[in-house]
Structure 1
């Protein structure tokens, strides 16, 4: 199998971190979905990354679907509980982190997409999306509290998803300064950045 993605995408980073934590060998094919000659449509009709192409040529897409599949391929470092409330908690953390990213990316596209000129951009829309980012950060901080990891005492997909989201905010929205507002999230991110999987996938 191979992973198609971008080195700056936080959703791709989430998948790459899971691959590393699960010790799964998977070639990476870089793809710019914004390029006029992108070939991503041949694998994912939605035109998005990440996209995991299996050995038989079948494509698996959406990062949440991909990481769920990858977690079943190896017993090493189980990241998603098998069932029950623990599983729901981890998947809810992932949904929160992905939702934060969805809003932040919409805000950034509204402000920077070359397909629009300055007169066509809507500051009210940007503010609305950033409001979702800030409320998501508050929810993350409250949910983390003084726990060592998002879902308790063990590293899980919750932390992979939250770390990928926070890392992208640092990369694209440094002006938000979420670290000062939420020092417990900053401590979590610093701890995650000591893991080789996060070091190797830092957006650039």
Structure 2
């Protein structure tokens, strides 16, 4: 059985879990908690960067970065299901997925600034720069949310919005009602989204 090292709050780990579920691979993966802040966790031996998620295959080899993991799972399930094989659709979907991942990266940088630096050293300019990235990405997605068959761009956006709900109390919702409706529809259509939500 494959092992996915992750943590419940990770939007990138959540993306891999939802992808596995949509591909019918949920039962082929055991999720094992990883603590990125624990120096005794084996995570750095599985990913030298000490980041999650990491997928450990049956032969012991390791895949890291959620994009790589999702592409591997998609190929394992026959290919072309979450990442289109046709060129034009492929690049469109991968670009949208990268934009969603970038939202998560920016949100994480804000969280890390507050978590790992004393308040008197926080850089408001740095945090505002990250917040602007999120705002610009939200505007792009609000203008044209992912449509059609659920793919990696849908999963990525849902996980990004879910992470903004978790860490920023859903402050985005008042400005982007179209995305609220889109996320509600995604959650209704993909039960794994609620199943992977970090419960209070």
Q: TM bucket by the smaller chain?
A: over 0.9
Aligned to 1:129: 130
1:156-171 matched pairs, under 5 angstroms = 156-171=151-166
1:1-204 matched pairs, under 5 angstroms = 1-24=2-25, 25-75=28-78, 78-113=81-116, 116-144=117-145, 150=146, 152-174=147-169, 177-194=171-188, 195-204=190-199
Distance 1:203 1:77, change over 3 A: farther
- What is the aligned residue count? 195
1:184 and 1:75 map into 2 onto residues whose CA distance is 33
1:131 and 1:88 map into 2 onto residues whose CA distance is 25
2:17 and 2:171 map into 1 onto residues whose CA distance is 26
2:79 and 2:72 map into 1 onto residues whose CA distance is 14
Distance 1:99 1:43, change over 3 A: same
Q: Please, what TM-score do these two structures have when normalized by structure 2?
A: 0.93
Q: Displacement of 1:203 after TM fit?
A: 2.3
2:150 and 2:56 map into 1 onto residues whose CA distance is 27
2:24 and 2:139 map into 1 onto residues whose CA distance is 33
Q: Displacement of 1:76 after TM fit?
A: 8.8
Aligned to 1:147: none
| Deviation readout 1:93-148 (Å, 9 max, x if unpaired) | 110000011111101111222xx22221111111111111111111111122xxxx
Alignment RMSD (CA, Å): 1.4
| 5+ residue gaps, structure 2 | none
